[in-house]
Amino acid sequence: MTVITRFAPSPTGRLHVGNIRTALHNWMFARANGGKFVLRIDDTDPERSEERFVDAIRADLDWLGMTPDAEERQSARFALYEARFAALVASGHVYPAYETTQELDLKRKIQAGRGLPPIYDRAALALDDDARAKLEADGVQPHWRFKLDHDSAIAWDDLIRGAAHFEAKTMSDPVIRRADGSWLYMLPSAIDDAEMGVTHVVRGEDHVSNTALQLQMFAALGVTPPRFAHEALLTGAEGKLSKRLGSLGVDHFREVGIEPQAVRALLARIGTSDPVEPIADAAPLIAGFDFARFGRAPARFDEVELAALNARILHTLPFEAVAERLPEGMDVAGWEAVRPNLVTLADAADWWGVIEGPIAVEGDIDAAYLDQALAVAGEIDWSSDPWHALTARLKAETGRKGKALFLPLRRALTGRDHGPDMAALLPLIGRERALERLAAR
């Protein structure tokens, strides 16, 4: 069996961090099992679906390194839905219902007043052909419901949640098609999963009840259902479901300087028993992917943790991975010198400016010490390790050590009190610029 997973967003907006996590885990599971990862654009709602969002979804997945193996569009599959729908109507698994939204709301209010669950009463099934014909003659168009088998329990072995169980008689027959003929999510999704050979569906735990309903749809279609894995939902740093999570997406991450590797490394592990680590390469993350490691407690997404992880990953990236985005002129030596001090890649330009100058020196200047440093700097050998040659001579001549020895030099040479290792920076600054900076007052 070839493992096939799918990520099925609706192109009605940009992907947010929760969507990205779902896509990532579907992609990782497919890759871990030598399978296929499919992007399915669920664009059955023509009024809300926009092509610009389709393009954005593709671009976001590409940026994250999760380019799909195939893409499908639900809007191109309507003929298939019509055929399966007609067969389900003929077999009695789907039936027309004529209540308006207001009438259904009233029914639910009456049920609530009686302390009853808000389950559809199947009044539409009591209508005979003449009653239905009269309603349609009066201009009432039906919506369509899937008829659940109330005599059977619904059970499956969830890859994360374990044994799951629902009583069909406690659930309403779901509406699968609106009166205007447009499709709701449930049936087309089940049809597509069956027709596309999807073997595993990874999605949020808010879909658990949908899975229960869709399992009966798979049975009515006469197909074997996929395996399901329902993940705990993401929460914000405060431990609650956060509206902000719905606004955090690839555009935001790029804007604040987060690398795709950091997004992957964090979302691959939060909610599992594995530690979040600065793993830039997707391969070890994929190799260790296992639903048995996922917990049922909400997964906590923290932007501060992501930023810290981003810095740690930057500190591991080779020059080749970032060369195209570095400041003009920065080479391997420059990258390796500044890399340990970066929080985002944009900081590299700041440090390259420190190296190439000009710089501004603020704060106290130890003029006499810098005069002595200027004289020594003009005499040392700059061909190998000028920083240690400079500081060794100054330490011997002045008796200075520690902060008193190093800080005035760092400040005069970089304009900063902190930063990358001066042994790496000074050769890049070079003899002429270093002498100019030590001579400046």
Question: Binding site membership: which residues?
Answer: 243
The single-letter DSSP state of residue 172 is P
Q: Please confirm whether the linkage preceding 340 is cis (ω < 30° from 0).
A: no
Element housing 94 (H / E): strand 94-97
315: number of Cβ within 10 Å = 13
112-121 CB contacts, 8 Å cutoff, 24+ apart: 117/170, 118/172, 119/170, 119/171, 119/172, 120/145, 120/172, 120/173
The Cα–Cα gap between 109 and 99 comes to 15
**For residue 99, which of 110, 88, 87 has the smallest C-alpha distance?**
110
**For residue 301, which of 255, 240, 260 has the smallest C-alpha distance?**
240
Single-letter residue type at 210: N
The single-letter DSSP state of residue 280 is -
φ/ψ of 372, rounded to 5, equals -65, -40
Q: Which residues are annotated as a binding site for ATP?
A: 243
Element housing 176 (H / E): strand 175-177
DSSP β-bridge partners for residue 177: 144, 183
Relative to beta strand 4-7, strand 36-41 is parallel
Structure tokens at 168: 């069909």
φ/ψ of 360, rounded to 5, equals -115, 130
Maximal C-alpha separation, the chain: 110
